[in-house]
Amino acid sequence: YGWYQAQYSTGLVVMLPDPDAHITLVKAQAQWRSTFEGLAQEYSPRYRMAYASTFDATAREWIRKEFGVTHFPAVALRTARSTHWIGDGWHIFKGEITYENLRLQIQDVDAGCFTWQRPTTFGRIKSQSERGICLA
């Protein structure tokens, strides 16, 4: 029972690797391991990190239908507060996949902010206070 309870009391961060950039899921994991290990250390036990296979057409079709993801790599985030395991309960991050970008995405999802209006900073964000306005 405790295992099932834990599944509904933690968020999930799922890496959807680019199938054209890697031969196998193991190769994709090797590329992203340090980023996801850092996130796991920072956010455990509130979030679990996982990889999903994108290497066969059936998996990619399911990902497209359930998440709307058609370009890879992407990362799907779900908070523990979400009541949906598919569809609206997920936030899809399609930006540059770095530790810092994913850390900020997790913070945004935790805060309920899924859309940001960025301030003009000549193409870069200098500090968290300059991140913009949450449009939720």
Give the pLDDT of residue 23. 80
pTM of the model: 0.72
Q: Which residue has the higher pLDDT, 103 or 10?
A: 103
User: What are the CA-CA distances from residue 101 to residues 75, 92, 104, 105 (Å)?
Assistant: 11, 13, 5, 6
121 has pLDDT over 70: no
8 has pLDDT over 60: yes
Q: Which amino acid is at 39?
A: L
Average pLDDT over the chain, rounded to an integer: 78
- How many CB atoms are closer than 10 A to CB 12? 18
Residues 45-74: tens digit of each pLDDT: 888 888 888 988 999 999 898 888 999 999
